[in-house]
Amino acid sequence: MITKKIAIIGSTAYNLYNFRKDFIFACIEHGHQVYAFVSEYDDHWLDTIKNLGVIPVTYQLSRGGLNPLADLRSTFQLKKKIKEIQPDIVFSYSTKPVIYATLAAYKTQVPYIYGMIEGLGSPFTIHKHGQSLKAKLVRIIQVFLYRLSFPYLDKIIFLNHEDPKDLVHRYNISHKKNAIEVLGPIGLNLKDFSYTKWNDQKKISFIFIARLIAEKGIFEYIEAARIVKRKYPEVVFKIIGGLDPENPTGLKQAELDQLIQTGIIEYNGFVTDVDQRLRNSAVFVLPSYYREGVPRSTQEAMAVGRPVITTDVPGCNETVVDGLTGFLIPKWDVAALVEKMTYFIEHPEQINKMGYQGFLYARKNFNADHINHRLLQMMGINRL
């Protein structure tokens, strides 16, 4: 097998390490040289990425910015660095890297160009009271930029079956023949999330793990906690995740402080031992209506053997088997969430029963080794 140069282009170094590490190892095991492009980093993260056996490459990108000149500079910078490396493959993921790295790779005549769309994100997320004008504008801009970049992608890889329908087909975006693929979840290293039976001698507890913004269902979770606690005051409601003060739909610090003070929730902020937090909880809850790819958090919860309550929306509904590994509820439906929480409180024996079924499902469907093998096949890397 001939060694090939593969440029993996993302944004944050933290994200690349935590969510692309297993894929990077798979590429290296096939004998290829990997270059990891990141735009948000520090010396610690660059060293951490380098220790994976890759060559880190830094560039500038404003993930949430709307300045076209800044994005143009990012494209030219990517073009310059790609030209210096001359990779055989460029693989980018998330919105802006896919758009600008694809254009840069095409201009530098990279032989194979692949992009992964990990969910449609905020511009395609419909809120209870409609979308803001800014979100609508961003969606229009994104669709326009996808129109520019998608025709140059050899593969456009989605994580769920609804995203290509709601993006490519709905907006009639041109692309190469047979370019669209659906991978499913990016998966987990199951050794990091080993099955652990829930200790049914403990108080029943629910846990929410996500950014504390409306799209992730934080307000539905809090409202359900208030209602359930009136009838079952001993039940514990945990929240893990960071505040997002720049997000207009985010939970505010003052609101969070009040919830902690009144004892409605337990809050541990941003933690690094997510697997242990899941093991110490009975049921995982994600009432998200965000346009997820396939949420990693539900996969993690199922892998350690916890039943999941989540919403019947694209991405979320591709992890949970309703009634077997947990429950799917309508988005924004606090009453349905309360009903399913109450079910586990009144039928605690179902926690380990459904949790074990979730573990079996995770073992079969969320194994990163198997998924990365499929991804390598889609990209033809294991045949190069």
CATH (domain of 83): 3.40.50.2000
pLDDT tens for residues 56-102? 999 999 877 778 888 999 999 999 999 999 999 999 999 999 999 99
In terms of phi and psi (left: phi > 0; alpha: psi -120 to 50; beta: otherwise), the region of 173 is: beta
Residue 339 and residue 238 in one domain: yes
Residue 361 and residue 371 in one domain: no
Give all strands of the β-sheet with 5-9 in edge-to-edge order. 55-58, 33-38, 5-9, 89-93, 112-117, 155-158, 180-182
pLDDT for residue 384: 47
Determine the Cα–Cα distance for residues 301 and 312; give it in Å rounded to an integer.
17
193 contacts 363 by C-beta, under 8 angstroms = no
Residue 290 and residue 355 in one domain: yes
DSSP 280-336: T-SEEEE---S--SS-HHHHHHHHTT--EEEESSTTGGGT--BTTTEEEE-TT-HHH
pLDDT tens for residues 202-243? 999 999 999 999 999 999 999 999 999 999 999 999 999 988
pLDDT for residue 104: 97
Residue 23 and residue 100 in one domain: yes
pLDDT for residue 246: 74
Residue 172 belongs to domain spanning: 5-187+367-383
Give all strands of the β-sheet with 236-240 in edge-to-edge order. 266-267, 236-240, 205-209, 283-286, 308-311, 326-329
Residue 297 and residue 232 in one domain: yes
Number of domains, the chain:
2
Q: How far is CA 274 from the centre of its chain?
A: 15
Give the single-character DSSP code of 118: -
HSE, CB side, 13 Å, CA atoms: give it for residue 141.
Answer: 16
Q: How far is CA 288 from the centre of its chain?
A: 12
Determine the Cα–Cα distance for residues 325 and 119; give it in Å rounded to an integer.
23
pLDDT for residue 234: 96
Residue 343 and residue 294 in one domain: yes
Low-confidence ranges of the chain (pLDDT < 50): 384
Q: How far is CA 307 from the centre of its chain?
A: 19
pLDDT for residue 128: 85
pLDDT for residue 130: 82
Residue 240 and residue 324 in one domain: yes
Residue 175 and residue 130 in one domain: yes
DSSP 3-48: --EEEEE-SBHHHHHHHHHHHHHHHHHTT-EEEEEESB--HHHHHH
Residue 212 and residue 346 in one domain: yes
Residue 175 and residue 227 in one domain: no
Residue 201 and residue 338 in one domain: yes
Of 273, 212, 275, nearest to 242 (Cα)?
212
User: For residue 329, what are its two tokens?
Assistant: 């509820």
Residue 115 and residue 229 in one domain: no
pLDDT for residue 93: 95
Q: What residue has token string 């939970």?
A: 251
